[in-house]
Amino acid sequence: MKRVIGIGGIFFKANDPEKLAAWYKKHLGFEVEDWGGVRFQENAGADLKPKRQSHIVWSPFEAKTDYFKPSEKPFMINYRVHDLDALLAQLRSEGIDVDKAEKSEFGYFGWIMDPEGNRIELWEPPVKQ
């Protein structure tokens, strides 16, 4: 019997959940529902070209990691995107500070912070081979 088959949700505390949800809706396009959360449907955007890899990574980091800096929070959330360059340009035009962006064999990454100091990693997966 396989006990865990995936991630069912991400839940965290916020100082002002409604304000934070509005920020994510405005800047990252989250479709915030009446109950205050967002449902990401598997295979949503399956018609997008080029096809991209689709998976979820679970990875504990060392307690002393600097990878989440400048956030002081003990977590970072990575969101899949289809066109990172276009999104980063839009975020910059909206006054969002884009910390950096870099490409690797794992895809294309960009980092920002939300208004409550949570580190956000935006990830454009590599093209599916």
Cβ atoms 26, 19 nearer than 8 A: no
Position 53 pLDDT exceeds 80 = no
Query: Which amino acid appears at position 126 of this protein?
Result: P
Instruction: Report the alpha-carbon distance of residue 26 to residue 20 in Å, rounded.
Output: 10
Position 43 pLDDT exceeds 90 = no
Q: Identify the sign of the CA torsion 102, 48, 88, 33.
A: negative
Q: What percent of the chain has pLDDT over 90?
A: 68
| Helix, coil or strand: residue 21 | helix
Question: What's the pTM value of the predicted model, to 2 decimals?
Answer: 0.85
Instruction: Report the alpha-carbon distance of residue 46 to residue 62 in Å, rounded.
Output: 35
Q: What is the pLDDT of residues 85-111, one digit of tens each?
A: 999 999 999 999 999 999 998 899 999
**Token couple for 38:** 């967002």
